[in-house]
Amino acid sequence: MTVPVEQGRSLLEIEGVWKFYHRHSVLRGIDLSVDSHEVVCLIGASGSGKSTLLRCVNLLETVDDGAIHLDGAEITDVRADPDDVRKRIGMVFQAYNLFPSMTVLSNITLAPRKAHGVGRAEAEERARELLARFGLADKAEAYPDRLSGGQQQRVAIIRALATRPRLLLLDEVTSALDPALVGEVLEIIRELKDTGMTMVLATHEMGLARDIADKVCFLDGGVLLEQGTPEQIFTDPREPRTREFLSRVLNRR
């Protein structure tokens, strides 16, 4: 069932969202808005709630209180169709989650064909365009185990883009990569920023957050403790916990 659309909202609005696991609160009253073409980076220690927040937006987790709106419609409403919502959201995980028995081309075209009803020829044309754009034109018929970790993660991003999502969620997409391969994935993310893709990223890459974010959000113990521009967060954070976290992670590099 279609949920009524409320006009005048941001592309994504998260309002007072709580999430519990076995009575333990992992998200505690999160409020966050994301405008079209905006890039928001979620930073914070492991276990702070970054990944859980992304999974709630993509309806892979149910919220226990609060609401999430996408394009003005409440997607956490019980009447909302999760499959319909996910057609408008692309998500890339830390693990590549490519189907090992399918070629790169088949991995990329599966969702457009099966979930969006796109014809094979059109889906393959779009996939090949994306592969060429991101330097993987010669890998269309390769299987995932023949690719490097960086190449597999680039394919995972391309797969998410193939459905032309309104919103792209990226969950620590460089964490599983060898440091030598991180750069090629970060370059794709920077290019997506330049094309105006709306993105929410959970990341440990402070340099990336500083370079591409329009808004940086620091999560601590399930609380969105502070948010602001990269300049404000990285040069003059207001909260002691933010200063402590940044001092720790930046001095470690």
pLDDT at position 253, please? 55
Q: What is the mean pLDDT of residues 25-29?
A: 97
Q: Of 190 and 251, which is predicted with more confidence?
A: 190
Do the Cβ atoms of 26 and 19 come closer than 8 Å? yes
Per-residue pLDDT, averaged over 143-147, amounts to: 95
Classify residue 154 as exposed, middle or buried by CB count within 10 Å of its CB (0-12, 13-18, 19+): buried
CA-CA-CA-CA torsion sign (194, 195, 197, 203)? negative
Beta strands in the chain (DSSP E): 12-21, 24-34, 39-43, 65-70, 73-74, 89-92, 167-171, 199-202, 215-220, 223-228
- Identify the CATH class of 12-251: alpha beta
166-171: average pLDDT: 96
* pLDDT band of 185, cuts 50, 70, 90: confident
- pLDDT above 70 for 234: yes
What is the mean pLDDT of the segment spanning 130-135? 93
Task: Report whether pLDDT(196) > 90.
Answer: yes
pTM above 0.85, yes or no: yes
User: Is pLDDT above 80 for 142?
Assistant: yes
pLDDT for the residue numbered 3: 54
pLDDT for position 183: 85
Ramachandran angles phi, psi of 184, nearest 5°: -70, -30
State the pLDDT confidence band at 160, using cuts at 50, 70 and 90: very high
Residue 2's pLDDT band, with cuts at 50, 70 and 90, is low
The predicted model gives 232-239 an average pLDDT of 96
CA-to-CA distance for 196 and 37, rounded, in angstroms?
5
How long a stretch of residues is the chain?
A: 253
What is the residue extent of each domain of the chain?
Answer: 12-251
Q: What percent of the chain has pLDDT over 90?
A: 83
Q: What is the predicted pLDDT for the residue at 123?
A: 97
List the structure tokens of 208.
């990336």
At 8, the pLDDT band (50, 70, 90 cuts) reads: low
pLDDT of residue 181: 79
Task: Return the pLDDT at 94.
Answer: 84
111 pLDDT more than 70: yes
Q: What is the pLDDT of residues 28-38, one digit of tens each?
A: 999 999 999 99
Among residues of the chain, what percentage have pLDDT more than 70?
96
Q: Maximum CA pair distance of the chain?
A: 55
